[in-house]
Amino acid sequence: MSGVTNTAAFRPSARVARIRESPSTLAANRVRELRAAGTPIIDLTIGEPDFDTPRNVKDAGIAAIEAGRTKYTAVNGTPELRAAIRARMLRASGIEFDDASIAVGGGGKQVIYMAFAATLDPGDEVIVPSPYWVSYPDMVLANDGTPVIVDTAEATGFKLTPEALRAAITPRTRWVVVNAPGNPTGAVYTRAEIEGLVEVLEAFPDVWVLADEIYDEIGFTGRPFVPFVAAAGRVRDRVLTVNGVSKSYAMTGWRLGYGVGAPGLVRAINILQSQSSSCPSSVSQAAAVVALTGDQSFITESVARYRSRRDLAVDRFGEIDGLRPIVPDGGFYVFVDCSGLIGRRTAGGTVLTSDQDVTMWLLDEARVAVIQGAAYGSDAFFRTSIATSEEQIEAGARAIAEAVATLA
Ligand code: PMP
């Protein structure tokens, strides 16, 4: 590479100084570097479908380009996109939302970020049940808030209980994050479990719910998914449902997500959007309309694949001495308890003292990349992905089993 070396002394803002780069991004970079250096790696860190975007959706994107639909749209998306989101929300929740309730962004991630930016002042608290998706605490911190991490237990399926919620609420609480199906555990709340949380929230009118349901279509229980808002009763107006097309339709790179909730909040998000990116990509919006309203067979087919991969991963990891996979009800990750490896001695003579050690050792010894539980606020676990082929899952489990067999 050529170029001039820039030696400017850079001073980041306090906002940036208090957050870290996403551990998933770091893991992906590490895999890329090792592969570039010629080391074959079995990558089980992947947080996006390995399937291609469905043909009809790609065609809609191409048609939008050809038809010149390549200009700015309204801040809150094209009327067609808003209609598609309203129809999807009606189908999923039975609730009819109006246009003023819909915000769109460059992925669900950006919508969550804007929701925090639109609501948090210094010292405001956001309850984040752990294990959590890596980005929530940092997004809260970046927007001057304080994440309040509430540990959940395996005994409650890694779900927030009414008691734990009640105990975490303070006069500064603005939000509680409820992510289902959850990343990384795959936890899905039943209607009764949502109602238990709602009962607590009824007494706290200033606490809102950020229901991140980006994996809602990917479920393995055979029961229909219950969106939080559909069971929210009297707190319904305080729920922001976040969703998008990334996971359900294998459209991660198209960057299109949405939030559905109170018009006042949506207006604030739209103001931020108008001053930051104006609108999400017009081409992606056109493709998302077809994803949301067109033939849905891609979902049925991909979920069947995820289900058999889940079963395979749970079986194979479960057979390995010292590992105990948590069976996910949805999403595309398997969270694995690796406490049985901690304290064991490697062939090189070092003792594995943490999930971080286990993860690094697996990368070195088994050439398998997984992400340490600590990144999700949960020690002694690692996260594997089933958004990869059966062969990769088999090969990964085999390599891990062989490496584990060398531990003393
Ligand atoms: N929420 C969760 C729980 C996720 O895992 C992700 C993607 N990793 C997102 C939101 C964001 O997805 P996107 O921005 O692609 O819509």
How many residues make up the chain in this entry? 408
Ligand 1 centroid – CA 213 distance (Å): 9
Number of CB atoms found within 10 A of residue 328's CB: 28
Rounded CA-CA distance 333/310 in Å is 8
Ligand 1 centroid – CA 49 distance (Å): 12
Burial of residue 162 (number of CB atoms within 10 Å: 0-12, 13-18, 19+) = middle
The chain-wide mean pLDDT, for the chain, equals 96
Residue-level pLDDT at 3: 86
Pocket test for ligand 1, best of 24, 134, 214 (most atoms within 8 A of CB): 214
Residue-level pLDDT at 183: 97
The verdict on the CB of residue 113 being under 6 Å from ligand 1 is no
Rounded CA-CA distance 106/287 in Å is 13
Q: pLDDT band at residue 123, thresholds of 50, 70 and 90? A: very high
Rg (Cα) of the chain, in Å, rounded? 22
Question: How much of the chain, in percent, has pLDDT values that exceed 70?
Answer: 100
Residue-level pLDDT at 160: 98
- Residue that is written with structure tokens 């969270």 in the block: 335
Stretch (H or E) spanning 336: strand 333-337
- Index of the ligand 1 atom closest to the CA of residue 244: 16
In the chain, what are the domains? 14-52+298-404 (3.90.1150.10), 55-293 (3.40.640.10)
Nearest to 286 by CA among 277, 278, 276, 294: 294
Model pTM above 0.90: yes
Residue-level pLDDT at 228: 98
Residue-level pLDDT at 108: 98
Residue-level pLDDT at 29: 84
- Index of the ligand 1 atom closest to the CA of residue 182: 3
Residue range 197-222, pLDDT digits in tens: 999 999 999 999 999 999 999 999 99
Q: Contact 76/104 with Cβ under 8 angstroms?
A: yes
Asked if residue 196 has pLDDT above 80, the reply is yes
Mean pLDDT, range 149-178, rounded to an integer: 98
Mean pLDDT, range 268-296, rounded to an integer: 98
Mean pLDDT, range 230-255, rounded to an integer: 98
- Phi/psi of residue 338, each to 5°? -115, 20
Q: Contact 91/114 with Cβ under 8 angstroms?
A: no
Q: Which of these ranges, 15-29, 50-64, 234-248, 261-275, has the smallest mean pLDDT?
A: 15-29
Residue range 351-385, pLDDT digits in tens: 999 999 999 999 999 999 999 999 999 999 999 99
Q: pLDDT band at residue 2, thresholds of 50, 70 and 90? A: confident
Asked if residue 137 has pLDDT above 80, the reply is yes
Asked if residue 1 has pLDDT above 70, the reply is no
- Index of the ligand 1 atom closest to the CA of residue 106: 14
The verdict on the CB of residue 257 being under 6 Å from ligand 1 is yes
Q: What is the Cα 279 distance to its own chain's centre?
A: 22
Asked if residue 240 has pLDDT above 90, the reply is yes
Mean pLDDT, range 223-232, rounded to an integer: 97
Residue range 40-84, pLDDT digits in tens: 999 999 889 999 999 999 999 999 999 999 999 999 999 999 999
Question: How much of the chain, in percent, has pLDDT values that exceed 90?
Answer: 94
